[in-house]
Structure 1
Amino acid sequence: MVNTGMQLISFTCAVTGWIMAIAVTALPQWKVSAFIGNNILTSEIKWEGIWMNCIYQTTGHMQCKTYDSMLALPPDIQAARALMCLAIFMGWLSCTVSCCGMKCTTCAGDDRRAKAGIALAGGILFILTGLCVLIPVSWTANTVVRDFYNPNVPIMHKRELGQAIYLGWAAAVILMISGTVLSSTCPLMERGGRYRRGYIGRSFANSPATAPDPPKPITSSSLPMREYV
């Protein structure tokens, strides 16, 4: 039988990763100020996200401003906007599909084959959601590191990795691992159209073989009349 507890754990972790991806999309801490060289003014910290940039002061005040033009944004930010929005939509779709394919739900009735296919599709969607989160986060991190070590970039424009980057990496890993586990809980088809142990408690291949019928004894009543001649 399918481990219902494993399905519930993997689904819960996947939903947690999806919520983390939503938080990453909204947070402005993708890039933070780098205090190096002559840039030692720590009373203000600048945050840059994919939707806005903020200035946080040590007094507790924070001012945020959305970007004026989308076309003026660098390619990594534009790609991050599209992919993170796609990840949020795919995460919602993954949750809906996975709920229908889980063994503890009544969706699809008693059709075990349909529920197995739905569970597999939900797991694959979670994996794709994790990839949609991983790509923009890693791209932005590569841009930050490259500009940080580029001597042609002014010190005041250098940035460091923000908290949203690390949270995005964690969300991507959780989504992909949970999707893999959720996909592995569905039965695979064997040759000849028979199921392995999974949603069906017993496989046809493991059923005990029936003994052949014993031969019937030959009696005089079973012989034709010509045998007496």
Structure 2
Amino acid sequence: MFQEIVAFTLTTSGWVLVSSTLPMDYWKVSSLDGTVITTATFWSNLWKTCVTDSTGVSNCKDFPSLLALDGYIQACRGLMIAAVCLGFFGTIFALVGMKCTKIGGSDKNKARIACCAGVNFILSGLCSVSACSLYAHRITSEFFDPMFMAQKYELGAALFIGWAGSILCILGGSILCFSIANSFKKRHSQANYIYKGAVSHSHISSYPRGQSKSVNERPPPDYSNSSRVQHFDKNAYV
């Protein structure tokens, strides 16, 4: 139960961080420095691109068309949305399948539900880390490309938050699955232990079918033992 509570805390925290990463602004950031102060800051995320001047006024432009977007932005959107959905269902399954809750049915059903929750959290973390890594790879490849002449960006804070949330989801989901697997092993070992007490031997009846041996019937005396046979001479009854 303690392992399940720790795993649930880690996975829920990771899912909250992943969910907050999706609408966050600073996925990539770039700035134009003047002689004294920063004149403008360019930043972008999965939904829009913006510029903020030195006075704090921001001008944003939403991406006009889904089909006109770059492929990596579409892939990152899909992976992040899948990560949020998997984490949501994983949270519900974890609440139902944990031992400290009173819903979910028998212990066997609760263990299966908790295992499904752990798998959902692991998949959520993998989707999130894939999206953040793909976006970061595009930023770094453009930054270090000498032939790329457009505005170059750096890694934003949202990517680091997304990586942290992904690690928490994967770690908590793994702990949840391992705790369920250990409980199954303990139950299996206890089920295989059989107490071997006194063994009763049953004799196969030699009577024909349909005839049963009477309970009060005594077995015939055994005269095979020579020590018990009494020898009488001819004058014994005289």
| 1:26 Cα offset (Å) | 0.4
Residues 10-36 of structure 1, C-alpha deviations (whole Å, 9 max, x = no match): 112111111111111001211111x5x
Corresponding residue number in structure 1 for 2:190: 203
2:3 corresponds, among 1, 6, 10, to 6
Corresponding residue number in structure 1 for 2:33: 40
After the TM superposition, which residues 16-165 of structure 1 pair with which residues of structure 2 at under 5 Å, given as runs?
Answer: 16-33=13-30, 35=31, 39-41=32-34, 42-109=38-105, 111-154=106-149, 156-165=150-159
**Code of the aligned partner of 2:191:** F
Residue 186 of structure 1 aligns to a residue whose secondary structure is helix
Name structure 1 gaps, 5 residues minimum: 190-194, 216-220
Within 2, Cα distance between the matches of 1:7 and 1:16? 14
2:173 corresponds, among 137, 158, 179, to 179
Within 2, Cα distance between the matches of 1:178 and 1:43? 43
Name structure 2 gaps, 5 residues minimum: 202-215, 224-228, 230-238
Which stretches of structure 1, 4 residues or more, deviate above 4 A after TM superposition? none
Within 2, Cα distance between the matches of 1:88 and 1:142? 22
Coordinate RMSD, CA, aligned: 2.5
Within 2, Cα distance between the matches of 1:26 and 1:94? 21
Corresponding residue number in structure 1 for 2:211: none
**Code of the aligned partner of 1:56:** T
Within 1, Cα distance between the matches of 2:199 and 2:65? 83
Moved more, 118-127 or 100-109: 100-109
Within 1, Cα distance between the matches of 2:53 and 2:168? 33
TM-score, length basis structure 1: 0.81
TM-score, length basis structure 2: 0.78
Residue 123 of structure 2 aligns to a residue whose secondary structure is helix
Residue 180 of structure 2 aligns to a residue whose secondary structure is coil
Within 2, Cα distance between the matches of 1:183 and 1:15? 15
Moved more, 180-189 or 43-52: 180-189
Within 2, Cα distance between the matches of 1:222 and 1:11? 69
Moved more, 62-71 or 139-148: 62-71
